[in-house]
């Protein structure tokens, strides 16, 4: 466990602090995209958690959307749900906010709490796989426990 990359150790520590049981796996192959992660984990792409950062167009408030790898965010639906339109910040903003580079952004372990929404389509699986801090590390987690830990609200994405 101690030979995990530093970014993964931050995710592991956050999980331990939250009492969230996770299993981080570092792969030889890339898990930068949902498709790559699904192939590496031997699961369907719907079982992969994409951790996507958006910001409110007016407020600049950041949102973390935990989206099934099979879905794309319906931006009109999200705007209705959140009360303002969203935009995608650039990669530098995302790195600054979360502490991780795109392709490895985990749903937990950020320097500050980010308001979080989760895709109901993830909740039907016994476990799902999310990025663990680097573009070749993932962790397996119960989606209900992930939602509870991140205080996520359910938001239909598809
Ligand atoms: N490790 C995988 C599976 S868990 C992963 O992190 N997937 S992901 O979907 O959460 O992260 C990749 C996402 O980053 C892409 O879906 C894409 O929407 C987003 N992205 C890629 N490039 C940029 C960029 N330059 N700025 C903002 N977002 C980007």
The residue among 63 and 21 whose pLDDT is bigger is 63
In this predicted structure, the answer to whether residue 1 has a pLDDT above a threshold of 60 is: no
What percent of the chain stands above pLDDT 70?
99
pTM score of the predicted model: 0.96
Task: Tell me the backbone φ, ψ of residue 77, rounded to 5 degrees.
Answer: -65, -40
Q: Does 22 sit in the ligand 1 pocket, CB within 6 Å?
A: no
Instruction: Please give the Cα distance from 39 to 32 (Å, whole number).
Output: 11
Sequence-distant (6+) residues with CB within 8 A of 110 are 14, 64, 97, 98, 99, 100
Using an 8 Å Cβ cutoff, are 35 and 69 in contact?
yes
Averaged confidence pLDDT in the chain: 96
Q: What is the pLDDT of residues 108-136, one digit of tens each?
A: 999 999 999 999 999 999 999 999 999 99
48 CA → ligand 1 middle, Å: 12
Question: Which of 103, 117, 118, 135 best tests ligand 1's pocket when mutated (most atoms within 8 Å of CB)?
Answer: 103
Atom index in ligand 1 nearest the CA of residue 103 equals: 6
Domains of the chain, earliest start first:
6-154 (3.90.960.10)
Instruction: Please give the Cα distance from 108 to 143 (Å, whole number).
Output: 13
* β-strands 128-131, 137-141 pairing: antiparallel
Atom index in ligand 1 nearest the CA of residue 48 equals: 4
């Amino acid at each position: 466990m101690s030979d995990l990359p530093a970014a993964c150790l931050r995710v592991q520590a956050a999980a331990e602090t939250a009492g969230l049981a996770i299993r981080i796996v570092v792969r030889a192959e890339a898990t930068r995209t949902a498709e790559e992660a699904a192939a590496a984990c031997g699961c369907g792409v719907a079982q992969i958690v994409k951790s996507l950062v958006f910001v409110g167009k007016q407020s600049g408030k950041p949102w973390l959307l935990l989206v099934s790898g099979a879905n794309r965010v319906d931006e009109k639906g999200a705007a209705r749900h959140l009360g303002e339109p969203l935009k995608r910040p650039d990669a530098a903003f995302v790195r600054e906010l979360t502490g991780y580079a795109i392709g490895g952004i985990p749903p937990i372990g950020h320097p500050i709490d980010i308001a979080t929404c989760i895709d109901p389509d993830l909740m039907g699986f016994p476990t799902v796989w999310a990025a663990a801090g680097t573009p070749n590390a993932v962790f397996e987690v119960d989606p209900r426990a992930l939602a509870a830990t991140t205080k996520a609200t359910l938001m239909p994405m598809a």
